[in-house]
Amino acid sequence: LFTGPIAFVKSAPTMDDLPPANLPEVAFAGRSNVGKSSLLNALTARKGLARTSNTPGRTQLLNIFDVGEPAVLRLVDMPGYGYAEAPKKMVDAWKRAVFDYLRGRANLKRVLLLIDSRRGIGKVDEDVMDMLDSAAVSYQIVLTKTDKVKESWVAKLREDLPALLKRHPASFPSLLATSSEKNHGIEDLRAAVLGAAKD
């Protein structure tokens, strides 16, 4: 499915600009530079589906892609968060737009929350997890860039996870470990997206 037709639908600045809620949606979120664009490109076996960008947070848009022909599910690329220089006004705007989307989107099946393997889950990620919990949107942690760390480090992150997730009622108990660079974990990610869409 993911290597077949995928159409860019639009960039939506607000909830009101989204397409009708007629397909199951799976959204991708993470700190800017977490490797979200690279992972979306690996997921869909395309080079330029999601634009990798060096100017984080420049635009606060939900980028929407329909998968399949006819479309059977939708991928939503959420704006990156947590870059240090973001003015407070922008952070507030991000929170408002994202929370509106999370709370108001009935067809949103799951959020995949991307975490850079080297950094682990930080304070800013936990803030987003709190937001997901209060919006009651199911989410799963996806480690990115595992090629940059030792396997024992990934194992440790995996071990530490249950204690952390206990505090987060909407979280999904298992962890996906991926490397877009090495194409690791991409089949598991595809299965997770498909499974979520069917929930």
**With CB under 6 A as the contact rule, which of the stretches 4-12, 13-21, 105-113, 144-152 interacts with ligand GDP?**
144-152
80 interacts with ligand GDP by CB under 6 A? yes
117 interacts with ligand GDP by CB under 6 A: no
For residue 34, state whether it binds ligand GDP (rule: CB under 6 A): yes
> Quick one: 60 or 144, whose CB is closer to ligand GDP?
144
**Residue 148 contacts ligand GDP per CB under 6 A:** yes
Q: Is 63 an interacting residue with respect to ligand GDP (CB under 6 A)?
A: no
Residues 6+ apart with CB under 8 A from 54: none
Q: Where along the sequence are the contacts to ligand GDP (CB under 6 A)? A: 30, 32-38, 52, 80, 144-145, 147-148, 179-181
